[in-house]
Amino acid sequence: MKMKLQEVYSALKIKADNVPDVQITGVCFDSRKAKTGDLFFPLQGERDGHEFIESAINNGASASVWQKDHPITNKDIPYVIVDDVMDAFNTLAKYYLNKVNPKVVAVTGSNGKTTTKDMIASVLGTDNNVAKTPQNFNNEIGVPFTILNMPINTEVLVVEMGMDRPGQIEHLSELAHPDVSVITMIGEAHIEFFGTRDKIADAKMEITHHLQEDGLFVFDGDEPLLTERAKDVQRNQATFGQNDSNTIYSTEINSDKEKTTFKTNLWPDIEFSIPIMGDYNVNNALAALLVGRRYHIKVEAMQKALADFYATANRTEWLKAQDGADILSDVYNSNPTAAIEVLDNLKKLSTGRKIVVLGDMLELGDASKKLHESLADHIDPNDFAKVYLVGNEMKALYDLLVNKYDPADLSWYGKDQLAELTENIKEEMNSDDTILLKASHGIHLENVLKQLI
């Protein structure tokens, strides 16, 4: 980002005289990360962001937005007085997006959206200046933040869109007006707020509502909930999946701990490789290939980009324990589809003893007990030597697994017992073990992970 403070005033349609000659090079809403050149937005969270303006100033912010119903208490830097801070945040994002005018690729889905975003950015980055959503900044704050912090020379913006309620992606799509909209898959994530997978699909389809007239809709063609709804989308479409009815489908999939290789119908003689485990990640790569083809990226460049792409941390990441054991870390998010996929793929690895540590899958609502129990069919002593379960919701799975496991090999912990869990794992694990850590972020298995590595 690069604009004078006067341009900010103009973008927000605010008339003012004698605006200070201040250069704005970025925006922030976390005062702890404010730096010189930043315009600070005091957004409303659990606490009023205006409480942190002083901290933003101390950390170097060059200017701050200020909502007019709050009295100004410090005049050490210029202020932009607005009616509503969040409205101003969105308005400035729309202005800057139109100014830079990149092609926009929007990605959503119950699983795989962050990995797919990273793959698409890697593929398109071979021939374009690409900016992408940092980490998982995919909500009403994260999307405008992503837009406002893209470099002025950005040619393609790859933006991730998340949701936990109807209308959320509608808002984000209206803000971004994508040239390509991608839906990775429909699962059970956030089903607590939607009730059924049908309603989740309806909400995900909002990503097509503001798709450009010449835009492309890319989606999982093996998912009936999407193929049925796609009939109402009057835009170009391309599908990916495992069935040969899709625009692109995979063949000859092989996966090990370090990578997954596959071929496709579109380029049958070329073997693609992605540096992550799991057949399920092939679909994410197929989506990236369709987007790359849309922007005329050479297949050899896409092949290299997928082989070299860097996945956002905390998503199916291989790490080493202090004693040398392999740890498959996926502590940021979990839902039944994702958990089953990683369990089934872990079984295929030719390694030593396998241990699983599973925490609650949150936001499953009334279906939570049944969905946690559904994992039981994918966990067996012949595949996983020991099972550690964490959280109130995992108790339902524990009650089923007691019929399969020796009491010494199956344990359940409350989410306030992470220290005890950590010690028990340390006492048990050996250097040739493979350990899976997977849970919703609210369980905070990352604290266990830190102690193990």
The band of 315, judged by pLDDT with boundaries at 50, 70 and 90, is low
Task: Provide the mean pLDDT of the chain.
Answer: 94
Count other C-beta atoms under 10 Å from residue 166's C-beta.
Answer: 14
Tokens 């969040």, residue located: 86
> Does 70 score more than 80 pLDDT?
yes
Helices and strands (H and E) in the chain: how many: 16, 21
Report the distance separating Cα 224 and Cα 202, nearest Å.
Answer: 12
Confidence at 76, pLDDT banded by 50, 70, 90: confident
**pLDDT for the residue numbered 256:** 86
Q: What angle do CA 43, 49, 50 make, to 5 degrees?
A: 120
pLDDT band at 145 (very low <50, low <70, confident <90, very high): very high
pLDDT value at position 71? 87
| Structure tokens that stand for 165 in this block | 């309620």
Residue 79 host element (H or E): strand 79-82
Task: Report whether pLDDT(316) > 80.
Answer: no
Residue 257 amino acid letter: K
User: Does the structure show a pLDDT above 60 at 314?
Assistant: no
Assign a CATH topology to domain 102-308: UDP-N-acetylmuramoyl-L-alanine:D-glutamate ligase (3.40.1190)
Q: Round to whole Å and give the CA distance between 146 and 130.
A: 12
- Tell me the one-letter amino acid at 97: L
Interatomic CA distance for residues 385 and 404, integer angstroms: 11
H-helix or E-strand containing 355?
strand 354-359
Residue 313 has a pLDDT of 62
DSSP string, 274-313: ESS--THHHHHHHHHHHHHHHTT--HHHHHHHHHH--PPT
* Residue 336 identity: P
Single out the residue of 30, 109, 116, 27 nearest to residue 312, CA to CA: 116
Encode burial over 275-300: b for 16+ CB neighbours within 10 A, e otherwise.
Answer: ebbbbbbbbbbbbbbbbbbbbebeee
Task: Give start-end residues of each CATH 3.40.1390.10 domain in the chain.
Answer: 3-84
- Collapsing DSSP states into helix, strand and coil, what is residue 392? coil
Looking at the chain, the domain(s) classified CATH 3.40.1190.10 span 102-308
Query: 317-452 adopts what CATH topology?
Result: Protein-Tyrosine Phosphatase; Chain A (3.90.190)
Name the nearest CA neighbour of 437 among 324, 322, 318, 352: 318
CA atoms within 13 A on the CB side of 104: 29
Question: What does DSSP assign to residue 256?
Answer: -
Average pLDDT over residues 342-347: 92
Q: Would you say 39 and 9 are in contact if contact means Cβ atoms under 8 Å apart?
A: no
pLDDT in tens, 381-402: 999 999 999 999 999 999 999 9
For 3-84, CATH number out of 2.130.10.10, 3.40.1390.10, 3.10.310.30, 3.40.630.190 equals 3.40.1390.10
Start and end residues for every CATH 3.90.190.20 domain found in the chain? 317-452
Are the beta carbons of 156 and 187 closer than 8 angstroms? no
Query: Is 80 exceeded by the pLDDT of residue 443?
Result: yes
At residue 111 the predicted structure's pLDDT band, cuts being 50, 70 and 90, is: confident
276-304 pLDDT, tens digit per residue, is: 888 889 999 999 999 999 999 999 999 99
| Chain position carrying tokens 């994508």 | 178
| CA–CA gap between residue 106 and residue 157 (Å, rounded) | 8
Question: Across the chain, which distance is largest between two alpha carbons, in Å?
Answer: 77
